Amino acid sequence: MKLKIPAGDFRAYLFDCDGTIADSMPLHYIAWKTALSEWNCEFDEPLFYQWGGKPPVEIIATLNQMQRLSMPVEAVAARKEKLYFEFLPQLEPVAEVLEHIQAMHRRIPFAVVSGSSRESVVNSLTAIGLLDKFDLIVGSEDYLRSKPAPDAFLTAAQKLGVKPHNCLVFEDAEIGIRAATAAGMASVKVPSPLERRSGTKP
């Protein structure tokens, strides 16, 4: 499936990481299921993909409220990340996005803009051999309001010195697309593994 690039004078590409550059969402889901099962917490797959882009601590806090649990947020987030890091040797890039990274590398600046921590992003990009392709990494520790707020993308644009309307965002999650729109940026929807399995077009 080819990604359709919208028309525009784009001077920077901003990429989400998980599910956009790295085909990591299935591995993250296994890590989530394992970590949460230790606390008898349910997390079904459609909800997991719906919440793509939320920082792990927000996910755990929300699940606590929804299921009337009292999981220790930071400890469960750390446990989930540790489990995910164990899966990194299995990680592959998303081919449709890799094509655009290779085509535009060194022609315009690239940033990764993620709801995950910088450590998680660096580990994922290192595992798939793409860390050196990016000029900037914006992780969950670099902004206050997470997607769908525009803060993460606006932070990246400011640090790159590129106006928001000259940035093109690549995102697999609906809340990421909404964040890009709120930031005044055009976006490309990358199909999720669920969409690829069902044959749904983004």
Let me know whether 109 and 19 are in one domain: yes
Q: 5 in a domain, yes or no?
A: no
- Tens digits of per-residue pLDDT, 65-97? 999 999 999 999 999 999 999 999 999 999 999
Q: 148 in a domain, yes or no?
A: yes
Let me know whether 100 and 80 are in one domain: no
Let me know whether 60 and 148 are in one domain: no
Compute how many other C-beta atoms are within 10 angstroms of the C-beta atom of residue 43. Answer: 18
Q: 1 in a domain, yes or no?
A: no
Is-catalytic flag, 16?
Answer: yes
d(CA 58, CA 113) in angstroms, rounded, equals 17
Domains contained in the chain, number: 2
Let me know whether 103 and 40 are in one domain: no
Let me know whether 71 and 150 are in one domain: no
Let me know whether 65 and 160 are in one domain: no
Task: Give the rounded percent of residues in the chain with a pLDDT score beyond 90.
Answer: 88
| pTM score, whole prediction | 0.87
Q: 158 in a domain, yes or no?
A: yes
- Angle at CA 17, nearest 5°, toward 176 and 100? 95
CATH code, 81? 1.10.150
pLDDT confidence tier of residue 194, bands split at 50, 70 and 90: confident
d(CA 10, CA 164) in angstroms, rounded, equals 10
Q: 7 in a domain, yes or no?
A: no
> Out of 16, 23, 151, 172, which one is annotated catalytic?
16
Let me know whether 100 and 169 are in one domain: yes
Look up the domain containing 135 and give its range: 12-23+92-198
pLDDT at 201 over 80: no
Q: 171 in a domain, yes or no?
A: yes
CATH code, 124? 3.40.50.1000
- Tens digits of per-residue pLDDT, 166-189? 999 999 999 999 999 999 999 999
